[in-house]
Chains A and B, each alone.
Chain A
Amino acid sequence: MTTHPVPTDTTAIPDFPAPRSASCPFAPSPQMRALADGGPVSRVRSWGGSTPWVVTGHAEQKALLADPRLSVDFANPGFPSPVDPQYSHPHARPDLSFVGMDDVEHARLRRMISGTFTIKRVEAMRPGIQRMTDTFIDEMLDGPKPVDLVQALALPLPSLVISELLGVPYADHEFFQTNSKTLVSAVATGEQRQTAHAALSQYLDGLIGEKIAEPGDDLLSKLGRHVEAGELTRREAATMGVLLLLGGHETTANMISLGTLLLLQHPEQLAAIRDAEDQHVVVDSVEELLRYLSIVHLGRRRTAVEDIEIAGKTISAGEGVILLGELANRDPLVFEDPDRLDITRNARQHQAFGGGTHHCIGQPLARLELQVLYPTLFRRIPTLRAAVPLEETRFKYDAVIYGLHELPVTW
């Protein structure tokens, strides 16, 4: 992008992405916090000298997420790449179906499957998710300790849930978990990312073929019916399958591990969740954890397709825009004392799932899994504790979705 004037005093522009402080792994990057303190809309310097806009204010982000003048199409020349182009050319970013499309095409594809995620349908899954959670915890308790909570519970639960919903054999979980991890890594090479995406697409295409021949009542069979009706190509269906499989487990798994570690640092709040008799306590706690942890931490990315005036700044058509949810979710204008974890606050205004027409399609399911998991884990293993000190815990600074590489626990 050379057609837009960039500020002459470029020394004042902070680099992006900016690292978190290793001594405050649950807090946003101190440089981005300082930027947010200076105003809700600012420029940063990113890969190759580009200077996209970063939006940190809650109100501004809420407005922009619902603004059709911003495009999610990563083929736009000004689209701010989420990874260093030395690792992946932005235009070679793997196809993630309607996540990278604007309306009306986005809505056409999304609404083929959005009925699966109504509040009523998701709520009906609660007893099954409770049983799965108990089974994984039974296995944990029967096995050796310490154990890695990520491998024993955080990753298996959402993987099994999304497998059953899609009609993917859970026995293949190692294959799809490994390839999904590569897709969300910020340090995988473009080639590794493409290979992982191709492997998952091919796998899902094969499954959709099987569902067309022998349909069930799962989501891949539903996609298969749309293919048969000529409303969806096989490639579109497989890509949508990749998106749902990936989105269904990588995100929730990180919320489970990170949320568990955070609550272990706040034993009195952990106890309140464990002992809650009122379901509202659990529901509010999950909203606060979603707000506080904001695991989509490298920004939601857009390109302006028209000039946009916001907070006294002009975002020109063609410029890149990065919306930092972890700062919006700690905006003191909306959340009092935002750096304090308080499971009793009303955190519902958080934007952990984004907003606008691209708001996370799987969020009711993610919320339900978290509402079941946290109280069940702490009730069944009341003496649960981390088996390594916080300083030795490996945080996923190098992934698009924040979380933990592993969480050794004992009891």
Chain B
Amino acid sequence: MKITVDEEKCCGAGQCVLIAPEVFDQRDDDGIVVLLEAEPAAEHQDVVRESASVCPAAAIHLDEKA
């Protein structure tokens, strides 16, 4: 799995940080998403999928084949 995030679309809601803190963080100055692990370990992939699905700005994209 390979994750890409769209900083322009990101609304800084932090839902991904709550659901998958091992993979996502927020910039201190404006709360925009910071990707910690672009290729998450297998045990984190379910929470990454949930993060992408609930992201209110649809700013998280997953390539499941990568």
Interface residue ranges, A against B (CB under 8 Å): 62, 65-66, 103, 107, 111-112, 114-115, 117-120, 348-349, 351, 353-359, 361, 363-364
Given contacts A115-B27, A117-B31, contact A359 B18 (CB under 8 A): no
* A-B pairs with beta carbons under 8 Å apart, 26 shown: A66-B9, A107-B8, A111-B32, A112-B30, A115-B27, A115-B28, A115-B29, A115-B30, A115-B31, A117-B14, A118-B12, A118-B17, A118-B28, A118-B31, A119-B26, A120-B26, A348-B50, A348-B54, A351-B56, A355-B56, A355-B57, A355-B58, A356-B9, A358-B11, A361-B11, A363-B13
State A359–B13 Cα separation when bound (angstroms): 8
CB <8 Å contact, A364 and B56? no
Interface residue ranges, B against A (CB under 8 Å): 8-9, 11-15, 17-18, 26-32, 50, 53-54, 56-58
Known: A66-B57, A354-B56. 6 other contacts (CB 8 A): A103-B8, A118-B12, A355-B57, A356-B58, A361-B12, A364-B14
CB distance from A370 to the nearest CB of B (A): 15
| Chain A to chain B: the 4 pairs with minimum beta-carbon distance, closest first | A119-B14, A359-B11, A359-B56, A111-B30
State A107–B53 Cα separation when bound (angstroms): 23
State A107–B28 Cα separation when bound (angstroms): 16
Dominant secondary structure at the A interface: helix
CB <8 Å contact, A118 and B14? yes
Please, which residue of chain B has its CB at the minimum distance from the CB of A348? Answer: B54
State A62–B52 Cα separation when bound (angstroms): 13
Please, which residue of chain A has its CB at the minimum distance from the CB of B58? Answer: A66
CB distance from A189 to the nearest CB of B (A): 34
Please, which residue of chain B has its CB at the minimum distance from the CB of A103? Answer: B8
Given contacts A118-B12, A119-B18, contact A357 B57 (CB under 8 A): yes
CB distance from B54 to the nearest CB of A (A): 5
State A235–B15 Cα separation when bound (angstroms): 32
- CB contacts (< 8 Å) of B53 on chain A: these are 349
State A186–B8 Cα separation when bound (angstroms): 34
Please, which residue of chain A has its CB at the minimum distance from the CB of B11? Answer: A359
CB distance from A190 to the nearest CB of B (A): 31
State A312–B35 Cα separation when bound (angstroms): 36
Partner of B57 from A115, A117, A120, A356 at Cβ < 8 Å: A356
CB <8 Å contact, A117 and B12? yes
CB distance from B48 to the nearest CB of A (A): 14
Partner of A357 from B11, B28, B31 at Cβ < 8 Å: B11
Please, which residue of chain A has its CB at the minimum distance from the CB of B21? Answer: A119
Given contacts A62-B58, A114-B30, A119-B18, contact A357 B9 (CB under 8 A): yes
CB distance from B34 to the nearest CB of A (A): 11
State A119–B15 Cα separation when bound (angstroms): 8
Please, which residue of chain B has its CB at the minimum distance from the CB of A363? Answer: B13
Please, which residue of chain A has its CB at the minimum distance from the CB of B59? Answer: A66
- CB contacts (< 8 Å) of B56 on chain A: these are 65, 351, 353-356, 359
State A60–B23 Cα separation when bound (angstroms): 29
Among A114, A348, A353, residue most surrounded by chain B Cβ atoms (within 10 Å)? A114
State A62–B26 Cα separation when bound (angstroms): 23
State A103–B59 Cα separation when bound (angstroms): 15
